């Protein structure tokens, strides 16, 4: 069965404590892996798209990487304003719409 | 501002009532979709469209109808609301390159 699984479900960090969020996928014909940030009461906000294994993208304190089985979102020296739910999603085979994982809720304490 | 606009932001319905959730985008995107987000279930695809006049079902289509008469608009109709349809609904759109889907701010629907 095609699946997208994110771990952990929740992560508490101290400000400045770097960590990584995981998104593993079991789909065939991956065409793109997407990372989104979602704040409470708002819609998902696009962060990155990764298209092939080995690709990396960075934005401020965030860095996304992709292998053939999973993607990591590395957060370096996080700040309280990085607190949010981070979602990953995949586009695969001939499909045109995203399949989402369950998300990781990140809480960064000052 | 360019983007995806959803209305209303909040709605309370009684069981059996019908309503339409509106979604409009001004980016000339071909692809539009509706998701619902429930605690512990993540975002699940309801219906989608690959262009004006073309729609298809997603993972959880029962109880919902869509149509796409223009590129800009993609309304979602609840035919006879049920408590199981209590959720937050998001509309999203993207262009041919699938570089990144743009989401609206959501409609929080409660069915009592």
Q: What is the pLDDT of residues A79-102, one digit of tens each?
A: 999 999 999 999 987 777 889 999
Parts of chain B with a pLDDT under 70: 1
Q: Which of B58, B98, B105 sits opposite A42 (nearest CB)?
A: B105
CA–CA separation, B30 vs A95, rounded Å?
14
Pairwise CB contact (< 8 Å): B98 & A32 = yes
Chain B CB contacts of A96 below 8 Å: 31, 48, 50, 98
Q: How far is B18 from chain A (nearest CA, A)?
A: 24
Pairwise CB contact (< 8 Å): A96 & B31 = yes
Render pLDDT for A29-82 as a digit per residue (tens, 0 to 9). Answer: 899 999 999 999 999 999 999 999 999 999 999 999 999 999 999 999 999 999
Q: How many CB pairs under 8 A join A and B?
A: 54
Q: Sign of the C-alpha dihedral, residues B32, B37, B40, B45?
A: negative
Chain A CB contacts of B39 below 8 Å: none
Q: How far is B54 from chain A (nearest CA, A)?
A: 13
Q: Mean of the per-residue pLDDT values for chain B?
A: 94
Tokens of B1: 């501002």
Pairwise CB contact (< 8 Å): A100 & B42 = yes
Mapped onto helix, strand or coil, the DSSP state of residue B51 is strand
CA–CA separation, B7 vs A97, rounded Å?
22
């Amino acid at each position: 069965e095609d699946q997208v699984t994110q771990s952990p479900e929740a992560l508490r960090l101290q400000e400045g404590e770097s960590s990584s969020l995981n998104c593993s996928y079991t789909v065939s014909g991956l065409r793109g892996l997407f990372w989104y940030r979602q704040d409470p009461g708002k819609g998902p906000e696009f962060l990155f798209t990764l298209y092939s294994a080995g690709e990396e993208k960075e934005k401020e304190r965030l860095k996304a990487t992709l292998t053939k089985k999973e993607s990591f979102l590395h957060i370096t020296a996080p700040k309280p304003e990085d607190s949010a739910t981070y979602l990953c999603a995949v586009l695969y085979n001939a499909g045109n719409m995203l399949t989402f994982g369950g998300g990781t809720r990140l809480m960064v304490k000052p | 501002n360019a983007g995806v606009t959803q209305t209303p932001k909040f709605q309370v319905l009684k069981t059996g009532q019908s309503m339409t959730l509106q979604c409009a985008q001004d980016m000339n995107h071909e692809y539009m979709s509706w998701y619902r987000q429930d605690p512990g279930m993540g975002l699940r695809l309801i219906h989608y469209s690959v262009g004006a006049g073309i729609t298809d079902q997603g993972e959880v289509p029962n109880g919902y109808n869509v149509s796409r008469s223009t590129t800009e608009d993609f309304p979602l109709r609840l035919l006879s609301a049920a408590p199981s349809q209590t959720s937050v609904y998001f509309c999203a759109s993207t262009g041919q390159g699938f570089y990144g889907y743009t989401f609206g701010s959501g409609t929080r629907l409660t069915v009592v």
